[in-house]
Amino acid sequence: MPNAFISGTGFYVPPEVVTNDDLREKYGVDTTNEWIVKRTGIEQRRFAKEGIGSSDLALHAAKDAIESAGIQPTDLDMILFATLSPDHAFPGSGVYLQEKLGVCSGEQPKFVPALDIRNQCSGFLYGLGTATSMVESGRLKHVLLVGAETHSAALDLSTAGRTVSSLFGDGAGAVVVSATDEDRGVRGWYLGADGRHADALSQKVWDIKKRPFIPTNADGVGQVEPSHMWAQMDGKLVFRNAVERMIGVLMQACMAHNLTKDDIDLFFFHQANMRINQYVAQQIGLPEEKVVHNIQRYGNTTAATIPILLAESVRDGRLKPGMKVAMVAFGSGFTWGAAIVDW
């Protein structure tokens, strides 16, 4: 049985930088840089321009990951696209990315299967588990896994929505998961979910149980209540469960492989809130130099946070072949996951 390893990484963030001061001065949000930094650790984020969707961001990251892996788009056997902000309700963004990569055209088109993953902040790790299993089965050789988000189009950029809107930014990260006979790669992945808290972090912009699923006015124009249009979050409940579940699944992963924190070179936590990650690290006793952060620059890019962290760390020389790394995420659902990888 082949091993599955990450053969290539890539990431992309839009060029427009939106600082905490910009939220106040440009968008009129009653907030301060100090208030946001103290509660989240975020100093700035990126916003995509109108007309740019998640598959557009993903294309840049995917091209970089494919080049980094030393393959061509037509070498791909599958595309996995993790996102909570797809281009449309349907079809999934994976098929849009497939078309933009050009694998369906040319003299030898290849109709690569494309699968979307809707596990929000845990989407990348759910995708990594899926890609790893596909490769280890021997059926596939190269799987492109992308996490991409365009949050800025669906944020309540007002004082009323500041608690949530100050958290999120746009961006994309990608990896290629490939087969190898070498003794390296994804050693294990561990996932979980607790649907009892599904409504604690949600955005119910439409309800398929209703007829029509989006209420209409006398002219037949769809209208959405503000409470449904924007993301809603029970911050205290999310924080408590995030800490508990991230610690729990990380310990599960380490115990399964007889590892201690000293055996792991770098920890890649989902970038939701600096306070959450610092608290988890403190509870486990992780040294600061082993925990990678970039939430200060990009905010929470949901499914894209971990692959962006990986790609940045490879680019900067911090993540090197031979290192043992742990990845951990928690998000809406509630869902969570962890993975142990020999880089």
Q: Which residues does the annotation mark as catalytic?
A: 121, 270, 300
Decide: helix, strand or coil at residue 132: helix
Helix, strand, coil % (nearest 5) of the chain? 40, 25, 35
Measure the CA–CA gap between 11 and 165, rounded to whole angstroms: 22
Count the Cβ atoms, other than its own, within 10 Å of residue 314: 20
Contact 23, 31 (CB under 8 A): yes
Paired sense of beta strands 171-180 and 335-342, if any: unpaired
**DSSP classification of residue 226:** H
Decide: helix, strand or coil at residue 326: strand
Decide: helix, strand or coil at residue 44: strand
At CA 275, angle to CA 274 and CA 278, rounded to 5? 80
Whose CA is closest to 174, among 99, 79, 103, 100?
79
**Strands lying side by side in the sheet with 185-193:** 185-193, 335-342, 324-331, 266-269, 291-292
- Based on the number of CB atoms within 10 Å of its own CB, is 243 exposed (0-12), middle (13-18) or buried (19 or more)? middle
